[in-house]
Amino acid sequence: MPGFSRFWSIANKMAAVVAGIGLVQVLTITSSFSQSSNPRSLDELYKIRDRLVTKLEQPASPSPEPTLLSGLAPLAGNPQEKLLSQLQAVEVQILVEQRANDNLQQAVRLANKAVETGRQQNQSIASGQQTQFLWHQALNNLQEVPQKSFLAPLTASKTQEYRDNLTAATSQVQQAKSDFLAVVARESGLSEQASIGICHLSRECVNLRGDLPPVSAASLIKVPIAVALMQKLEKEKISLKKEVFVDPGNFTEDSSTQIVSDRNYPLQLLLEEMIDRSSNIATNQLIDYLGADYINQFLENRGYQVTRVNFKLMGANIMPANPGSGANRLTANELTEMMVQIYNGETPGAKLLVETLNRQYDRDLGFAALQGTKAQWLGEKTGENSLVLGTTLAMSINGEAYVMTVIDSRSSGDLQIRQSISKIADYISKNPSF
C-alpha cells in the first residue's frame, strides 16, 4: 500500500517534531484544534486520531480541472495536508493529556503512600517528615498538569486537598520537633510564660509559645527600630554620617552610653549606641527621627503582624517627653525571623547590623551561656526591665548558623535564661535537624 507507507513516513517525522517541542509550544498548537473539535477526554482524542488515520489511508481524490473561476478565487487547501495538520494537533494534545494523566496518577500514588505513612503507630519525627515529603512531592506532580488539560478541574480540587494535608503534616512535624523545648524550659527553671523561638538560617524553625507576645518588649524592641532605620537610609539615600540633634526631651537614665542630650550625633553612632550599649536616649531620638508611624508601617509591610513601636524607652524614673501611646509589642517568632533576615543579608544595612550585634557590651546571657558548648556566639541583643528578661542571639553550631530568642517574665533570672540557651545549643549539636 504505497499511500499507507507514505502516510506513516510523514507521521513518523511529525512524531519526532512533537517529541522535541516544549510544553508551551504544545499548548499553542493544540489551542485552535481544541476550540474547533472540543474533545473532552483522552479516549475521544484516540477516536479522533483513528478517524483521521483512516481518512489519510484512503486514496487521494484527483485534483479538479482548472476553470475560468479558478483564476478569480484561490483553490481550497490540499485535503491531505489539512488532515495531516489536524492529526498533528491531535497527536500533540494526546501527548499533553498522557503527560497530565501520568502526573496525576503519580500524585495519587504519592498521596496514598502519605496517608499510609501518616497512619502508622508510634509516629517519630522521621516518619512525620516522610509524610510531609510525600505530600510535597504529590503537589509537585499536580503542578505539572497544564491548566488547559482535561484533568485541570480534578487537579485543582486535589491541589487544595493536598495543600491542606501538607499544612497539617508540617504542623505535626513542627510540633514534634518543638516538644523538646518544653522539657528544656522546665529543666532550666523558666516560667510557664516563657517564649522561645529557634531558626536555622534556612528557616527550619521550632518554638515554644513563640507567637505569644511577652508582657513587655523591653530593649528587644531596639532591633526592629534598627532595621527600620536602615531601610529608610537605604531607600532615601541618606548617609550614616548625617548628624541628628538629640533633643533634651529624649533624655532618660542610661547605664553605659556616651550619648547625652542637646548635642548632634551621626546616625551611625546613635544606631551603634542603641544596640551596643542599649542607649535609651539614642533609641528615643531615633524613634523621633523615623516617626512611630513610619516604623510601624514598615513592619506591617514586611509582614510582621504583632511587632509595633508605640512608646519611647525610659530608665528607672525619668519619662521622656512625648513618650507615645500604648505598649511596644513583639513576639519571639517575629524577632527571630527579623534576626534571620539580618544574618541572611536580606535587609538593608545587614552587614553593619551584624557587626553592631557582635559588639554588644552586655554579654551576661547568650554569650556567657554558650561558653563551654559546641556553639560559637555570633551576636546578640538583650532586653531587660522590671517585667521581662530576654535575649535574641545568633550562633554557629557545626558550621551551621542559627538564631535563638528566649524571653521570660522577670520571675526568671540570668541563670535560668543561660541554662535554657546552653541546653538548646547542646540539643542542636546532637540533633542538627532539630
What HEC string does the chain produce? CHHHHHHHHHHHHHHHHHHHCCHHHHHHHHHHHHHHHCCCCHHHHHHHHHHHHHHHHCCCCCCCCCCHHHHCCCCCCCHHHHHHHHHHHHHHHHHHHHHHHHHHHHHHHHHHHHHHHHCCCCCCHHHHHHHHHHHHHHHHHHHCCCCCCCCHHHHHHHHHHHHHHHHHHHHHHHHHHHHHHHHHHHHHCCCCCCEEEEEECCCCEEEECCCCCCCCCHHHHHHHHHHHHHHHHHHHCCCCCCEEEECHHHCCCCCCCCCCCCEEEEHHHHHHHHHHCCCHHHHHHHHHHHCHHHHHHHHHHCCCCCCECCECCCCCCCCCCCCECCCCECCHHHHHHHHHHHHCCCCCCHHHHHHHHHCCCCCCCHHHHHCCCCEEEEEEEEEECCCEEEEEEEEEECCEEEEEEEEEECCCCHHHHHHHHHHHHHHHHHCCCC
What's residue 328's pLDDT? 98
Which candidate, 15, 36, 40, 33, places its Cα nearest to that of 90?
Answer: 33
Chain mean pLDDT for the chain: 88
Mean pLDDT in residue range 19-44: 55
pLDDT over 70 percentage in the chain: 87
Contact between 256 and 361 under an 8 Å Cβ cutoff? The reply is yes
Residues 273 and 190 in one domain: no
Both 286 and 351 in a single domain?
no
* Mean per-residue pLDDT, 119-134: 90
Residue matched to cell numbers 503537589: 139
Residues 266/241, Cβ–Cβ less than 8 Å? yes
Confidence category of residue 64, pLDDT binned at 50, 70, 90:
low
Question: Do 416 and 386 share a structural domain?
Answer: yes
242 alpha-carbon distance from chain centroid: 35
**pLDDT band at residue 91 using 50, 70 and 90 as cut-offs:** confident
Give yes or no: residues 14 and 138 share one domain. Answer: yes
**For residue 66, what pLDDT is reported?**
55
Residues 6+ apart with CB under 8 A from 313: 219, 221, 252, 280, 283, 284, 320
Q: Say whether both 6 and 131 belong to one domain.
A: yes
**Do the domain assignments include residue 152?**
no
Tell me, yes or no, whether 247 and 200 share the same domain: no
Is 0.75 topped by the overall pTM? no
Instruction: Please report the pLDDT score of residue 44 as a whole number.
Output: 85
380 occurs within a structural domain: yes
Residues 224 and 207 in one domain: no
> Which of 295, 310, 329 is the C-terminal boundary of a domain?
329
Instruction: Band the pLDDT of 323: cuts 50, 70, 90.
Output: very high
Q: Does residue 338 sit in the same domain as residue 320? A: no
| Averaged pLDDT for residues 158-181 | 93
Note whether 313 and 403 are same-domain residues. no
Residues 383 and 355 in one domain: yes
The pLDDT assigned to 246 comes to: 97
pLDDT tier, 58 (very low <50, low <70, confident <90, very high otherwise): confident
Choosing from 295, 329, 363, the residue where a domain stops is 329
Residue 46 pLDDT level (bands cut at 50, 70, 90)? confident
In a domain, 187, yes or no: yes
Confidence of residue 50 (pLDDT cuts 50, 70, 90): confident
Specify the number of domains making up the chain.
3
What range defines the domain where residue 306 resides?
Answer: 218-329
Amino acid making up residue 90: V
> In one letter, which amino acid is 430?
K
| Residue 224 belongs to a domain | yes
One domain for residues 39 and 107: yes
- Amino acid identity, position 108: V
Query: What is d(CA 417, CA 425) in angstroms, rounded to the nearest whole number?
Result: 12
Confidence of residue 62 (pLDDT cuts 50, 70, 90): low
Give the model's pLDDT for residue 424: 97
Q: 298 pLDDT band (50/70/90 cuts)? A: very high
Residue 126 confidence (pLDDT): 87
Instruction: Determine the pLDDT at residue 270.
Output: 97
- What are 72-88's pLDDT values in tens digits? 444 455 787 888 888 88
Three-state SS sequence of 122-159: CCCHHHHHHHHHHHHHHHHHHHCCCCCCCCHHHHHHHH
Express each pLDDT in 193-235 by its tens digit: 999 999 999 999 999 999 999 999 999 999 999 999 999 999 9
pLDDT in tens, 418-429: 999 999 999 999
| 49-61 mean pLDDT | 79
Looking at the structure, tell me whether residues 20 and 133 fall in a common domain: yes
The predicted model gives 9-23 an average pLDDT of 46
Write the CATH number for 292.
Answer: 3.40.710.10
Look at residues 147, 170, 190 and tell me which one is the last residue of a structural domain. 147
Q: Is the model's pLDDT at 190 over the cut of 80? A: yes
| 6 has pLDDT over 50 | no
